[in-house]
């Protein structure tokens, strides 16, 4: 039996990122994620913005971010906003993740 998608989520677009973070890198990584989360919360069209954590393996923490956007325009605006913030700071997300030894799997999803 399939569960119907609520109409309020039918057109939504979801950005879901999964990170495997070494325990010693967690404080710096979480500080950065919280900055990103606060920034994305200000972008129109952000319907929900979750930051989830799981500790299954010694020395590693799984972090999942899930952001629900109302439509493609909203997610595009979010991407532009974050690129502008990173440019202002001179922040390179890929270099940051690599420096901390974080493994990342990031993607954009739609309701199936």
Count structural domains, the chain.
1
Q: Is residue 38 part of a domain?
A: yes
Domain with 42 in it = 9-110
Q: Is residue 3 part of a domain?
A: no
CATH of the domain at 61: 3.30.70.100
Q: Is residue 72 part of a domain?
A: yes
* pLDDT score at 2: 45
Give the CB-side neighbour count of residue 53, counting CA atoms within 13 A: 12
Q: Is residue 4 part of a domain?
A: no
Q: Is residue 102 part of a domain?
A: yes
Q: Whole-number mean pLDDT of the chain?
A: 92
* pLDDT score at 7: 55
| Of the listed ranges 7-11, 45-49, 62-66, the one predicted with least confidence | 7-11
Question: What is the DSSP code string of 54-69?
Answer: EEEETTEEEEEEEEEE
pLDDT(112) > 90: no
Q: Is residue 85 part of a domain?
A: yes
* pLDDT score at 6: 56
pLDDT(109) > 60: yes
Q: Is residue 76 part of a domain?
A: yes
Q: How much is the pTM? A: 0.85
């Amino acid at each position: 039996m399939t569960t119907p998608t609520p109409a309020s989520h039918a057109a939504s677009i979801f950005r879901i990122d999964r990170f495997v973070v070494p325990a010693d890198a967690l404080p710096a990584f979480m500080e950065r994620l919280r900055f990103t989360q606060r920034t994305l919360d200000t972008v129109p069209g952000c319907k929900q913005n979750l930051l989830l954590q799981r500790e299954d393996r010694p020395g590693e923490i799984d972090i999942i971010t899930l952001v629900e956007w109302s439509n493609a325009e909203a997610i595009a605006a979010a991407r532009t906003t974050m690129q502008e913030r990173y440019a202002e700071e001179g922040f390179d997300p890929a270099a940051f993740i690599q420096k901390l030894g974080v493994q990342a799997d990031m993607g954009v999803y739609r309701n199936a």
